[in-house]
Homo-oligomer: A and B are copies of this chain.
Amino acid sequence: MKKYAFGIDVGGTTVKCGLFSTAGEVLDKWEVRTRTEDSGKNILPDVAKSVLTKIEQKQLPKEEIAGIGIGVPGPVDEKGVIAVAVNLHWGRKDIVREMEELTGLKVKAGNDANVAALGEQWQGGGRGTRDMIMVTLGTGVGGGIIVNDKMLTGINGAAGEIGHIVIEADGEHCSCGRDGCFEAYSSATALIRMTKDALIRDRNKESAMWKIIDNSIDNVNGKTPFDAAQAGDEIAQKVVDKYIHYLGIGCANLINIFQPDVLCLGGGISKQGDSLIEPLIKVIEKERFAGNVTKQTRVCEATLGNDAGIIGAALLYTNN
């Protein structure tokens, strides 16, 4: 068994990098700026250079390095070819071949959300489970699905796009072009939209949210309605209830399909913790199929934050 593995998480602004023991311990973490200019042609060379520099600095024997796992924002097929990565300005790219040539090390690649789910299953909220669904509530709704300890990738590496299942046919327009997607109701963006709508309707400014946002609707963020609801504001409570209603429908859909051990919530909104998860579980219990006669899926919070990507990427390699 070799001693070391690298985990890389390529984002639109920075590339997160980690050096791990193959047992899963993080030994070092650092970041590289993502240079998206010129069709992102520098991104992989920059990462490769950074990895090789780290190997030299730490005087790691190359024969002790198992390989590099890398998560990228787009669909990655079984051979490690990404079809497109809009945020990186990439078209089709053979990531594995390119990184192997650049580093002389073995490389495996996966979709960033799927890889982060693998990280949460390995060391985070889904520790000790076999089947896990990760739902990330951020600017959009992302996700990753683990079945039998493996990422669900599908025929083309694009599986797990749980933000783009329609939960309200012909409903709210989604950034993907469809109408009524889960993401259009359950992202932080959607929560902010719902909150602003409620404030615009609140002509007499009765809501306690006005004070929190200093009377400026531009200051609304995902915490605003939760904070005000906690303080007893009814208008905010209604926004939170509506948001959790849709979130519960989407989560129950996934549970009815997969019946996983765990559904793990990540992303900014998940930081609301119990004030999100407890009422959410109540909605899910009402919405899930056959919940009364069978073992229940546990709903939990992700615990690894931004490190899920590099941890899962390292596992991607070492988990052979």
Which of B158, B166, B245, B287 has a CB less than 8 Å from the CB of A290? B158
| Chain A 43-79 per-residue mask, 1 if CB under 8 angstroms from chain B, else 0 | 0000000000000000000000000000000010100
A83: B residues at CB distance < 8 A: 290, 293-294
Q: Given A287-B166, A294-B83, do A152 and B147 touch, yes or no (CB 8 Å)?
A: yes
Q: Determine if A164 and B295 form an interchain contact, defined as CB atoms under 8 angstroms apart.
A: no
User: Which stretch, A16-24, A200-208, A232-240, A254-262, touches the partner chain B?
Assistant: A254-262
B residues in contact with A290, CB < 8 Å: 75, 83-84, 158, 161
The quantity of this chain's copies bound in the complex is 2
What is the 8 Å Cβ interface bit string for chain A, positions 175-213, against chain B (1 contact, 0 not)?
010101000010000000000000000000000000000
Of the residues B155, B171, B176, contact of A259 by C-beta under 8 Å: B155
Pick from B150, B167, B293: contact of A167, CB under 8 Å = B167
* A269→B167 CA distance, assembly (Å): 23
- A:1-43 near B, CB below 8 Å: none
- The reply to whether B131 and A154 contact each other, CB–CB distance below 8 Å, is yes
A254 partner residues in chain B, CB cutoff 8 A? 257
State in angstroms the CA–CA spacing of A150 and B147 once bound together: 10
Q: Chain B residues with Cβ under 8 A from A158's Cβ?
A: 259, 289-290, 294
The answer to whether B257 touches A257 (Cβ under 8 A) is yes
Q: Does A124 contact B (CB under 8 A)?
A: no
Tell me whether A253 is interfacial, beta carbon within 8 Å: yes
Interface string of A97-116 (1 = CB under 8 A from B): 00000000000000000000
Chain B residues closer than 8 Å to A256, beta-carbon distance: 161-162, 164-165
User: What are 19 A-B pairs at a CB distance below 8 A?
Assistant: A75-B293, A75-B294, A83-B290, A83-B293, A145-B257, A147-B147, A148-B150, A153-B259, A154-B258, A157-B294, A158-B259, A158-B289, A158-B290, A159-B257, A159-B259, A161-B256, A166-B253, A166-B287, A169-B249
12 further interface pairs, Cβ-Cβ under 8 Å (given A161-B256, A165-B257, A169-B246) = A77-B295, A84-B293, A131-B154, A155-B295, A158-B294, A162-B256, A166-B249, A166-B253, A167-B168, A167-B169, A178-B289, A254-B257
